[in-house]
Chains A and B, each alone.
Chain A
Amino acid sequence: EAGVTQFPSHSVIEKGQTVTLRCDPISGHDNLYWYRRVMGKEIKFLLHFVKESKQDESGMPNNRFLAERTGGTYSTLKVQPAELEDSGVYFCASSSGTIYGYTFGSGTRLTVV
């Protein structure tokens, strides 16, 4: 089966611009998660979708971040406007229902200059 696909793999934008990250989960996986790793820090949870609904968005840093999941399939994470501290690697993961089924994508490396 195809894995979790994220794109772009790398994005460099200027402070104040908008960037949209996309995640295509494994087909049939209802659970989709976004995580982020900023330099030198641990990977941190951002939010969790069950199908198209936000189950837990307690990790979203502020209202500059907007996540959507269209029709319970792919998800987008938009950062608007981007700030320097938003730089990091954004990971998407999907699962069929338990934490043990987590499959991560390769991540999107975001650099805000």
Chain B
Amino acid sequence: QKEVEQDPGPLSVPEGAIVSLNCTYSNSAFQYFMWYRQYSRKGPELLMYTYSSGNKEDGRFTAQVDKSSKYISLFIRDSQPSDSATYLCAIPPSGGYQKVTFGTGTKLQVIP
């Protein structure tokens, strides 16, 4: 079983839609959770990070962690064409925090 599972999509939505991106993970010891955004031909850039369970909001983006079900989500409100990118969930494994385990990424396209 992979440590982090993510639906690769692609996901196509109209501009203004609410987008929900999701990952599951296997190790209940994981404490930190991150979302990266990757534009085509670019490296990933850190979008948000959360610690333990709960929600974290930053502008149109909300990261949510449900440790009881080992489920993490990223919500994008009022999606814009500029949000079109690949979104990767990422988790530093327990016992180490310097390397990160990535999901496969979900490719999102927001259509004007």
Contacts and interface: CB of A to CB of B under 8 A. Distances in A.
Interface of A: 4, 31, 33, 41-45, 48, 55-56, 59, 91, 93, 98-100, 102-107
Interface of B: 4, 6, 32, 34, 41-46, 49, 88, 92, 96-105
> Which residue among A4, A41, A45 has the maximum number of chain B CB atoms within 10 Å of its CB?
A45
Contact of B100 (A4, A41, A99): A99
Interface of B is mostly: loop
A99 B100 CA distance: 8
27 contacts: A33-B98, A33-B99, A41-B104, A42-B101, A42-B102, A42-B105, A43-B105, A45-B99, A45-B100, A45-B101, A48-B99, A56-B96, A56-B98, A59-B99, A91-B43, A91-B44, A93-B43, A98-B97, A99-B92, A99-B100, A102-B100, A103-B45, A104-B44, A105-B43, A106-B41, A106-B42, A107-B43
A99 B105 contact: no
A8 B26 CA distance: 36
B102 A44 contact: yes
B98 A43 contact: no
Contacts of B45: 103-104
Contact of A99 (B4, B43, B98): B98
